[in-house]
Amino acid sequence: MLCSTRLRFSTRLLAYRRNLSTACMDDVLFEVKNDVGIITLNRPKALNSLNTSMVLKIKPKLKEYESLVRMVIMQGAGGKAFCAGGDVKSITENGVGAKSFEIGTNFFHNEYSMDSMIGKYKVPYVSLIDGITMGGGVGISVHGKYRVATEKTLFAMPETAIGLFCDVGGSHVLSRMDKHLGVLLGLTGCRLKGSDVVKAGIATHYVHSSKIDGLRAKLIEDVRDPGIVLAENTDDMDGVEFSMAPLMEKIDSIFSHERVEDIVEALRTDGSEWAQGVLKSLSEVSPTGLKITRKEISKGKNLSLDECIKMEHRLAVRCIEAKYSTDFYEGVRALLIDKDKNPKWCPASLEEVKDEIIDKYFEPLSNDQELQLS
């Protein structure tokens, strides 16, 4: 009986490991059709969140495709998400310590270098951002030449809610948005939907989700420049109004302040229902994350994409090592692990987050830790 039980357990364990290995093998799918490289993020149950396994498969394939195909299409499986972000749970689940530091620095090093590669890609790179596109999903799309949104697209950079900062080149993208809209999006994690993603400059084209399969087929079949194909097969957005247009002057006035405390005071002075809602959002996220994000966006405006990514890598390393704050670990715990949505930020207020500590996050790392980008 004992031997039989052991046999059944061993069989189940072997099957589990085989299934786990297969799932890992299939978390990204690669295909070439008519000289077009097609990359499909294939973790639909996890909303196609990026993990180290996926990044380590995508990077060499992107390098291979750059000299092999005439265009790359990046897409997500499952119909709900393009990519909902990076799999940060895997970084923090072991708590603060050497193991988390090793896992985290390895992930961010590879993810950020992949985003840099996309920003310099030599052949047209088309992202079909049909569905949730947040965090790491922004990094793997927005730096490419073409991004196609649909009515199902949901964009956000919600990193301050997990005690982090807007990374994956976010300091480059957000700093270049009109009228300090990027500062609002970066600090609050405010979501943009559908056509607003185009109007904000995140997407370059828009089409209804029912036409996305047909658009993909045309891009593959038509050997003309993909810019021409996209122009002929997507919607004209000239007559579509940005839903936040009535607020843009107010956003520009309030979020032009360099200090987060001054932004908060300006919102209190405004006193509108909109301002009260923004204040509530800011009160729920990491004070340290807010100050890092405001400073990185300010600095990012005068930096190249690679310079922004190198800066963000320094910030990520400092957040993982948790020398000055454990907010990253606490934020992931509260939002994604225990899901109690009740993080205990430390420091707990903006006033307690000293500028000299924030400055330390931006200091260069040792030579062996600095991110090297080709």
Q: pLDDT at position 8, please?
A: 47
Q: Where are the domains positioned within the chain?
A: 25-156+201-235, 162-189+242-366
- Kindly name the residue from 111, 167, 306, 312 that is annotated as catalytic: 167
Q: Which amino acid is at 271?
A: G
Local confidence band at 27 (pLDDT 50, 70, 90 cut-offs): very high
Burial tier of 319 (Cβ tally within 10 Å: 0-12, 13-18, 19+) = buried
Q: Taking residues 337-364, report their average pLDDT.
A: 97
Query: Please, how many CA atoms are within 13 Å of residue 199, restricted to the half-sphere of its CB?
Result: 18
Mean of per-residue pLDDT scores for the chain? 94
Q: 196-212 burial, b for 16+ CB within 10 Å, e for fewer? A: bbbbbebbbbbbebeeb
Q: pLDDT at position 21, please?
A: 45
Q: Taking residues 132-152, report their average pLDDT.
A: 98
Q: Which fold has domain 162-189+242-366?
A: 2-enoyl-CoA Hydratase; Chain A, domain 1 (3.90.226)
Q: Name the nearest CA neighbour of 182 among 222, 138, 218.
A: 138
Tell me, what DSSP letter sits at residue 160? Answer: G
Local confidence band at 25 (pLDDT 50, 70, 90 cut-offs): confident
> What are the pLDDT digits (tens) for 225-268?
999 999 999 999 999 999 999 999 999 999 999 999 999 999 99
> What are the pLDDT digits (tens) for 282-303?
999 999 999 999 999 999 999 9
Is residue 102 part of the annotated active site? The answer reads no
Q: pLDDT at position 24, please?
A: 65
- Kindly name the residue from 37, 136, 163, 194 that is annotated as catalytic: 136
Q: Taking residues 320-340, report their average pLDDT.
A: 96
Cβ(87)–Cβ(50) below 8 Å: yes
Cβ(267)–Cβ(195) below 8 Å: no
Q: What percent of the chain is modeled with pLDDT above 70?
A: 94
Is residue 340 part of the annotated active site? The answer reads no
- Kindly name the residue from 76, 86, 139, 194 that is annotated as catalytic: 86
> What are the pLDDT digits (tens) for 55-82?
999 999 999 999 999 999 999 999 999 9
Q: Which residue has the tokens 């005690």?
A: 163
Q: pLDDT at position 374, please?
A: 79
Is residue 312 part of the annotated active site? The answer reads no
* pLDDT over threshold 60, residue 279: yes
What's the predicted TM-score (pTM) here? 0.92
Please tell me the class of the 25-156+201-235 domain: alpha beta
Long-range pairs of 16-23 with CB within 8 A, sequence gap ≥ 24:
none
Cβ(169)–Cβ(119) below 8 Å: yes
Strands 146-149 and 154-156 turn out to be unpaired
Domains 25-156+201-235 and 162-189+242-366 share a fold: yes
- Kindly name the residue from 159, 196, 306, 330 that is annotated as catalytic: 159
Is residue 213 part of the annotated active site? The answer reads no
